[in-house]
């Protein structure tokens, strides 16, 4: 086995030499690896926003929302388990087209619902449905990794449905959410 390991090391270490000028093609990356402070920038947020906006502009884009809708339904169902607490001011960070809104938009205790997402076309895709909710949502184009325009203690509930995995600095993002 030791002989096999040596052979493997030789092949792997000589791979870049064999590929020569084709290295950049073979090892193309869709993420950035630039350091920003102590945070490794794994995802290129601008490219991801462009991809999401392009997907939202497709005529049948809502057909592919079934997973986000199901997870939003389960998240909102758990709110019913929290007894004796009113969620009057709610923030949905990385809201997509409003999957959480569809499930809590008619709660009697809801007074303010803010939807924040960096992709404007995604954010506004289902805006025409806003009239069916008891509370008209406020839609804001906001990059979750940037400075957020909210004040401490502004919200009773901060939710995020299948979008936090695109955050480069998750600990910082989590700290911001706790402050709101």
The burial class, CB within 10 Å (0-12 / 13-18 / 19+), for 150 is buried
Are the C-beta atoms of 163 and 138 separated by less than 8 Å?
A: no
Contacts of 93 (CB under 8 A, 6+ apart): 116, 117, 142, 144, 158, 159, 160, 163, 177
Residue 140 β-bridge partners: 116
Instruction: Give CA–CA dist 169/165, Å, rounded.
Output: 10
| Mean pLDDT computed over every residue of the chain | 84
Cβ atoms of 85 and 174 within 8 Å: the answer is no
Query: Tell me, what's the pLDDT at 37?
Result: 63
Tens-place pLDDT, residues 20-71: 444 444 444 444 444 556 788 899 999 999 999 999 999 999 999 999 999 9
Q: For the residues 72-90, what does the mean pLDDT come to?
A: 91
Strands 39-40 and 89-93: unpaired
Residue 62 corresponds to which tokens in the numbers above?
Answer: 């809502």
Q: For residues 46 and 81, what is the distance between their CA atoms, to the nearest angstrom?
A: 37
Q: Which two tokens stand for residue 176?
A: 């911001």
The per-residue pLDDT for range 139-162, each reduced to its tens digit, is 999 999 889 999 999 999 999 999
User: What is the pTM for the complete model shown?
Assistant: 0.77
Tokens coding 61 = 């884009």
């Amino acid at each position: 086995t030791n002989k096999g390991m040596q052979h493997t090391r030789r092949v792997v270490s000589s791979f870049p030499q064999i590929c020569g000028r084709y290295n950049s093609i073979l090892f193309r990356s869709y993420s950035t690896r630039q350091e920003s402070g102590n945070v490794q920038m794994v995802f290129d947020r601008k490219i991801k926003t462009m991809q999401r906006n392009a997907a939202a502009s497709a005529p049948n884009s809502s057909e592919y929302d079934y997973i986000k809708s199901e997870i939003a339904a389960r998240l909102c169902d758990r709110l019913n388990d929290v007894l004796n607490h009113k969620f009057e001011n709610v923030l949905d960070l990385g809201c997509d087209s409003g999957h959480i809104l569809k499930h809590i938009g008619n709660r009697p205790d809801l007074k303010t619902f803010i939807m924040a997402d960096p992709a404007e076309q995604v954010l506004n895709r289902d805006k025409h449905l806003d009239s069916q909710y008891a509370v008209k949502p406020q839609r804001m184009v906001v990059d979750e990794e940037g400075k957020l325009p909210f004040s401490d203690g502004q919200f009773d509930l901060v939710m995020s449905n299948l979008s936090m995995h695109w955050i480069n600095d998750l600990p910082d993002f989590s700290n911001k959410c706790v402050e709101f």
